[in-house]
């Protein structure tokens, strides 16, 4: 593993909650601080299903990577906003099926970069690069991306539970623009490449507002918003959505029966799917 960076390591701000560290806590991890746990406690007051949702999302990531490699011949991944390493990371799932599978992890959280590079130090087919997921050209033109991502090989870009971290700006930093720009760069690599997108959605305006306000306040503005399903569906316009379509992630090719409707969280869901470009 080679980790490209922006020079000197940035200090970890333990007093401001980090989305990556909050997610780590929700999954039962230990790479988090009091500020993260306090923010998670507030989140659980609004949406008590937050822990279950995090687990469901992680299970979806594992299933989707397995399917992309096994069923669609994907040989290389670019994982945007990859978060802290945990069990069943993208490269572990992919390389069990195809040992030569290449994975570029993209994040700009200092703790993610530090832990990722340490964890992946002996894996020549992975890299962790320091970049904002909105900086598409910087990601695709990075030396480590050039080293690992080979034109003409089936490639998938992952935006798993990260686009809700981006605000709607109406310009090139807007999540919709990021999706389109990433799709264009994937098409340059060759035909038939894929994209995975899922994000937090809610039909309840109060939940959308309360979660968005909490996360924006807790992270000092490093957050986007919980969206409606139709807003996420718009990200897939012009792409070919693969079966089973755009769904709650628990319904995406489950390996065991998903919970019935009456046992699912009513407040929100992680929702999306897989598309061929």
Structural domain includes residue 7: no
Could you tell me if residue 44 is inside a domain? yes
Q: Are 125 and 102 in contact (CB under 8 A)?
A: yes
- Per the model's pLDDT, the better-predicted residue between 246 and 223 turns out to be 246
Name residues whose C-beta falls within 8 Å of residue 175's C-beta, 6 or more positions apart in sequence.
163, 166, 168, 224, 235
Does 70 fall in a domain?
A: yes
Distance of CA 206 to CAs 19, 109, 226, Å? 21, 29, 11
CATH of the domain at 198: 3.40.50.150
Q: Which domain holds residue 81?
A: 19-276
pLDDT in tens, 73-121: 999 999 999 999 887 999 999 999 999 999 999 999 998 988 887 777 7
Gap between the Cα atoms of 94 and 60, Å rounded = 14
State how many domains the chain has.
1
Average pLDDT over residues 55-81: 98
Query: Is there a domain that residue 207 lies in?
Result: yes
Contact 274, 195 (CB under 8 A): yes
On whether residue 115 sits in a domain, the answer given is: yes
Whether 11 is covered by a domain: the verdict is no
Mean pLDDT score, 162-185: 97
> Does 137 score more than 80 pLDDT?
yes
Q: Does any domain span residue 176? A: yes
């Amino acid at each position: 593993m080679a980790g490209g960076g922006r020079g000197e390591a940035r200090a970890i701000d333990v007093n401001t909650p980090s989305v990556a560290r909050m997610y780590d806590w929700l999954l039962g991890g230990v790479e988090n601080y009091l500020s993260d746990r306090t923010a998670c406690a507030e989140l659980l007051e609004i949406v008590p299903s937050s822990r279950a949702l995090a687990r469901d999302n992680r299970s979806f990531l594992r299933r989707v990577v397995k399917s992309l490699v096994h069923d669609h011949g994907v040989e290389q991944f670019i994982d945007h906003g990859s978060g802290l390493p945990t069990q069943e990371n993208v490269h572990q799932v992919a390389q069990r099926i195809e040992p030569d599978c290449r994975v570029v992890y993209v994040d700009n959280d200092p703790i993610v970069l530090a832990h990722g590079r340490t964890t992946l130090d002996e894996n020549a087919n992975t890299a962790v690069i320091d970049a904002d997921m909105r900086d598409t050209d910087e990601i695709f033109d990075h030396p480590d991306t050039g080293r690992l991502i080979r034109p003409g090989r089936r490639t998938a870009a992952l935006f798993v539970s990260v686009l809700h971290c981006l605000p709607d700006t109406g310009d090139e930093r807007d999540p919709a623009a990021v999706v389109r720009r990433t799709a264009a760069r994937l098409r340059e690599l060759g035909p038939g490449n894929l994209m995975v997108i899922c994000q937090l959605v809610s039909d309840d305006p109060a939940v959308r507002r309360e979660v968005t306000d909490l996360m924006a306040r807790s992270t000092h503005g490093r957050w986007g918003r919980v969206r409606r399903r139709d807003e996420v569906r718009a990200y897939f316009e012009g792409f070919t959505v693969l079966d089973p379509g755009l769904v709650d992630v628990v319904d995406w090719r489950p390996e065991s029966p998903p919970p019935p409707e009456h046992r699912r969280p009513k407040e929100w869901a992680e929702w999306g799917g897989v598309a061929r470009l």
